[in-house]
Amino acid sequence: MTRRQLWQGFIEHLDMPLLLGLGLLMSASLLTLYSAGNHDFERVLAQGANILVAMCCLWVVANLPLHYLMRTAVPIYVLGMVLLIGVALFGDISHGARRWLNLGVATIQPSELMKIGVPLMMAWYFERHEASLTMKNYIVATLLLLMPVALIARQPDLGTSLLISASGFYVLFLAGLSWRVIGGFALASIASAPVMWNLLHEYQRHRILMLFDPSQDALGKGYHTIQSMIAVGSGGLFGKGYLNGTQSHLDFLPERTTDFIFAVYSEEFGLIGNFILLAMYFFVIARGFVITANASTYFTRLMAGSITLTFATYAFVNMGMVSGILPVVGVPLPLVSYGGTSMLTLLLGFGMLMSIQTHKKLVKT
């Protein structure tokens, strides 16, 4: 076998347009992290290692035939539920939240697993009942969604629970849930808002109130929002220049390598740079929709659509949070913020997209 044949075999199940978009975003991550971390090259190397590990996992998943992806749905979901129950009973408490589970050899955050496990399980369930979908099936699928969401919200982790709720809702929507039912859910949600408000933790209510007037607690609950808005606005049209952002380098901007890295990018590259970054995200999202449209089965259409729409939601929520139009919920900027778990989860999803694109036949299980 020649080198060319080996190379072709290696990239056979990689979707090159999608890989290009992901590569551009991850390059932007390394570039911005160097500035956001005050020239901390070790942080950049650590993120590079995260990317390398996640890319290896992407390649493995992209090479899995589709019937193998289906077979993983139930085990991943059940494992995730067991781990979430373990977190509720034995999880480590940090900063007032119980989100991590110490397994002895490693400490994990099971809610990240459910970002893939929930839509995968729901898509598997709908595929099994595709021929005769009734309202009962939608109710069962909703219960499959609500069980892990309730456990994650209890930790408490409002940001992750909302994002998993969104990913599950996208599966329900793509599976053909009636607009009447969606409208009914929306009205019920609005009507139950006072009750839901009382169920929120005090710090979560403060975050929502700070959205309307962060200056009422400028040095406390509203500090993150005010400083990020200053950074975004001070970038102007062309930005202050790479490595010249004052809000981050003078330590005014909190969490600048994770949740608020978009503020660092905006300050240094300005509105023009933001348009370029948005173009990268739109390219990846558009490619995801193309793969969704070309998907050959019900299961793959549901899964590809959910992965793509959830990725778009991640980006929108983070940018909205940093810009002051959404409450601070602790959602990282996908593929740009520092973090290994988030990077791994996202690239596992994109590996599934590549498998859907390159494996056209699905063997029934």
Residues 62-108 pLDDT 10s: 999 888 888 999 999 999 999 999 998 888 777 667 888 887 776 77
**Which amino acid, residue 233?**
G
Q: Are 354 and 14 in contact (CB under 8 A)?
A: yes
C-alpha 202/C-alpha 139 separation (Å) is 31
pTM of the predicted protein model: 0.92
Q: Is the pLDDT of residue 258 over 70?
A: yes
Joined tokens for residue 19: 């890989």
User: 97-102 and 107-108 as β-strands: parallel, antiparallel, unpaired?
Assistant: antiparallel
Residues 6 or more apart whose Cβ sits within 8 Å of residue 56: none
Residues 21-70 pLDDT 10s: 999 999 999 999 999 988 889 999 999 999 999 999 999 999 998 888 88
Q: Map out the domains of the chain as residue ranges.
A: 13-358
Percent of the chain scoring above 70 in pLDDT? 96
Q: Is the peptide bond before 17 cis (omega within 30 degrees of 0)?
A: no
Q: Are 98 and 92 in contact (CB under 8 A)?
A: yes
- Cα–Cα nearest to 67, from 241, 346, 252, 300: 300
Q: Is the pLDDT of residue 365 over 70?
A: no
Residues 203-231 pLDDT 10s: 777 777 777 778 777 777 788 888 999 99
For the chain, what is the mean pLDDT? 89
Q: Are 363 and 71 in contact (CB under 8 A)?
A: no
- Please state the length of the chain: 365
Q: In DSSP terms, which residues pair with 108 in a beta bridge?
A: 101
Residues 6 or more apart whose Cβ sits within 8 Å of residue 51: 26, 29, 30, 343
Element (H, E) at 108: strand 107-108
